[in-house]
């Protein structure tokens, strides 16, 4: 399975996927920490967190999957939502909460 196939498999078989540097418990950069905090603030308990620092193939190939060059990257139901800035903006507008809630109950 190629790295792009693995990414496709992860985002299609998990309702919510966060590709980040580190883990939600031990984020390795501020942007990843904020992304994990947004999910936590929305009450998301069940999501796949992929530590790109521990998986060089994912780290190198994720930027090609959705043409998004930076981390973190949030996918909901197979669709790229964006990075931490977009997540925070959507949170402040009350948009991401509904999106995540629907993904968890689907």
Residue 77 belongs to a domain with what CATH number? Answer: 3.40.30.10
In this model, does residue 106 exceed pLDDT 70?
no
For the segment 77-93, what is each residue's pLDDT rounded down to a tens digit? 999 999 999 999 999 99
- Report the DSSP beta bridge partners of residue 49: 18
Arithmetic mean of pLDDT, 24-38: 97
- Domain with 18, as residue range(s), is 3-105
CA distance 46 to 23: 14
Question: What single DSSP character describes residue 71?
Answer: S
Rounded to two decimals, what is the model's pTM? 0.96
> How many domains, the chain?
1
Instruction: Give me the half-sphere count of Cα atoms (radius 13 Å) on the Cβ side of residue 105.
Output: 7
């Amino acid at each position: 399975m190629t790295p792009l196939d693995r990414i496709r498999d992860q985002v299609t078989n998990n309702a919510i996927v966060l590709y980040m540097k580190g883990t939600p418990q031990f984020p390795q950069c501020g942007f990843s920490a904020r992304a994990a905090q947004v999910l936590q603030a929305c009450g998301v308990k069940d999501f796949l967190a992929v530590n790109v620092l521990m998986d060089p193939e994912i780290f190198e190939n994720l930027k090609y999957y959705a043409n998004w060059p930076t981390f973190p990257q949030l996918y909901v139901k197979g669709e790229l939502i964006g990075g931490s800035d977009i997540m925070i903006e959507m949170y402040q507008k009350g948009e991401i909460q509904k999106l995540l809630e629907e993904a968890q109950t689907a």
